[in-house]
Amino acid sequence: MKRLAGLMAAVILLTGTAWAAEPEMETEPVDEDVPESVFDETAIPTTAEGLDIPAPSAILMEKETGTVLFEKNADERLRPASVTKVMTILLIVEAVDSGALKLTDTITCSAYAAGMGGSQVFLEEGEQMPLSEMLKCIVVASANDAAVAVAEHMAGSEQAFAAMMNDRARELGMSNTHFTNCTGLMDDPEHLTTARDIAIMSRELIRHDWIKEYTTIWMDSIRDGEFGLSNTNKLVRYYEGATGLKTGYTSSAGHCLSATAQRDGVEYIAVVLHCDTSADRFESAKTLLSYAFGAYTVVSPQPTEVLPPIPVTLGRADYVQPVLGGEPKLLVRKSDAGALETTVELSEALTAPVEAGSVVGTMTVKLAGETLSETPIIAPDAVARITWWDVMRRMLGMMFCGNE
């Protein structure tokens, strides 16, 4: 069985087409031809008003700030198909980063997991793989059998894992989402989410940079090269800076995609749902991402002058050197980046004791009179109040050593 499956995958790898072995109504057609012209960026609108995409539901979000640049029916509850696996992958990644799982852990496939339909890597009951290989199968090949095998390893059952998914969704503020499984394979009428909620969980996932080692794979293999994997996300191959993330399709969900891309240190998330064709979803995601890259930039405003030290009365130190209490990041139109106005307000003097982290001023950034951000300026170190003994010691020093 595995040898036959491996031969099938090898043929598909040679043709450059993403494979799937599931029934026609439950997976992306393997013979769908998406022309490279879909990924052309020569005629991208420069304003949100000019965006006209075929996706019925969509959203465009910047990763660092979470700013939404475009939305279209973004809160309509729809079936996400295999884009569901963004949450599955997120829980796996978080478990690895917390130390609860290791990428070298052995995952054993159950009879239930082996019986999953749809996109799969044809795991057999009792077959074992390290988590790293299972994760690659989930991310690249959208393998339902691998997803369920890992879910059972983590939670005992797919149902219990789905409860974990819903708990995490609530923590992230995904208020219109309910998961009933970890794959999105079944067209369960209660398994619903929105473009906005998918963007939220996608943003959380790509905060873990190492997952991009998997999400940017175009072609790979498992079982010592005997079984080929090909990514259904054509952006990974054809779109500059693509970092992922996940495609999905069922007959009722339509063609779905959570797409991420990074250029010049800025990363965006474009989610499109319920598209009529695969070409429509890639065209929609490409248009949104390219619009963002062309029109916007992320800036980190700084004070226009060096912050002066602030004198401290009755302190063991005479001054504190103020610093910014954080690194502000603002998403602005490229045409506005040079028009930002930065002002600083600082306390003229402080009285000890001064606690570390105390707010001693504010840096304000404005654009055309509108306040975009206010960043606290803090005292980085504590300054204790002077004691009577400190006073006496200073007086004695002045008496015997002079006031130099």
285 and 320, same domain (yes or no): no
Q: 101 in a domain, yes or no? A: yes
Q: What is the pLDDT of residue 356?
A: 95
Q: Which member of 57, 63, 72, 85 is catalytic?
A: 85
- Tell me, yes or no, if 157 is annotated catalytic: no
Are the C-beta atoms of 239 and 34 separated by less than 8 Å? Answer: no
Q: 339 in a domain, yes or no? A: yes
204 and 320, same domain (yes or no): no
Are the C-beta atoms of 151 and 134 separated by less than 8 Å? Answer: no
Q: What's the distance, Cα to Cα, between the start and end of the chain in Å?
A: 90
102 and 189, same domain (yes or no): yes
Name the domain boundary from 276, 297, 318: 297
Name the domain boundary from 274, 297, 320: 297
Q: 198 in a domain, yes or no? A: yes
239 and 175, same domain (yes or no): yes
What is the domain extent for residue 379?
Answer: 310-401
Give the DSSP letter string of 111-127: HHHHT--SS---PPTT-
DSSP SS3 for 244: strand
Q: What is the pLDDT of residue 17?
A: 34
Q: 195 in a domain, yes or no? A: yes
Q: What is the pLDDT of residue 27?
A: 56
8 and 46, same domain (yes or no): yes
User: Strand 350-351 relative to strand 310-313: parallel, antiparallel, unpaired?
Assistant: parallel
- Tell me, yes or no, if 230 is annotated catalytic: no
Q: 316 in a domain, yes or no? A: yes
173: nearest Cα among 154, 155, 194, 143: 194
Rounded Cα–Cα distance for residues 348 and 358 (Å): 14
- Tell me, yes or no, if 366 is annotated catalytic: no
Q: What is the pLDDT of residue 22?
A: 36
Q: 104 in a domain, yes or no? A: yes
Give buried/exposed letters for 26-47 (b at 16+ CB in 10 A, else e): bbbeeeeebeeebbeeeebeee
Structure tokens at 45: 């609108």
167: nearest Cα among 185, 151, 149, 179: 179
Q: What is the pLDDT of residue 207?
A: 97
293 and 318, same domain (yes or no): no
Q: What is the pLDDT of residue 16?
A: 35
320 and 187, same domain (yes or no): no
Dihedral (CA of 88, 91, 92, 93) sign: positive
Rounded Cα–Cα distance for residues 350 and 312 (Å): 5
43 and 192, same domain (yes or no): yes
Number of domains present in the structure of the chain: 2
Rounded Cα–Cα distance for residues 315 and 394 (Å): 13
Q: Which member of 57, 142, 230, 290 is catalytic?
A: 142
CATH value at residue 345: 2.60.410.10
240 and 323, same domain (yes or no): no
Amino acid letter, residue 244: G
Strands annotated E in 83-165: 106-108, 128-130
Give buried/exposed letters for 188-219 (b at 16+ CB in 10 A, else e): eeebbbbbbbbbbbbbbbbeeeebbebbbbbb
243 and 353, same domain (yes or no): no
The parts of the chain modelled with pLDDT lower than 50 are 1-26, 31, 403-404
Q: Which residues have C-beta within 8 Å of that of residue 120, sequence separation ≥ 6?
A: 21, 22, 141, 143, 144, 145, 146
317: nearest Cα among 281, 353, 343, 268: 353
Q: Which member of 57, 63, 72, 82 is catalytic?
A: 82
160 and 25, same domain (yes or no): yes
Q: What is the pLDDT of residue 187?
A: 75
Q: What share of the chain is helix, strand, coil (3-state, %, to 5)?
A: 35, 25, 40
Neighbours of 380 (CB within 10 A): 13
CA-CA-CA-CA dihedral for 271, 101, 232, 238, to nearest 10:
70
128 and 65, same domain (yes or no): yes
Q: 305 in a domain, yes or no? A: no
Instruction: Answer yes or no: pTM beyond 0.95.
Output: no
Name the domain boundary from 297, 323, 356: 297
Q: 91 in a domain, yes or no? A: yes
130: nearest Cα among 171, 95, 101: 101
Half-sphere exposure of 110 (CA within 13 A, CB side): 14
CATH value at residue 159: 3.40.710.10
238: nearest Cα among 298, 289, 292, 196: 289
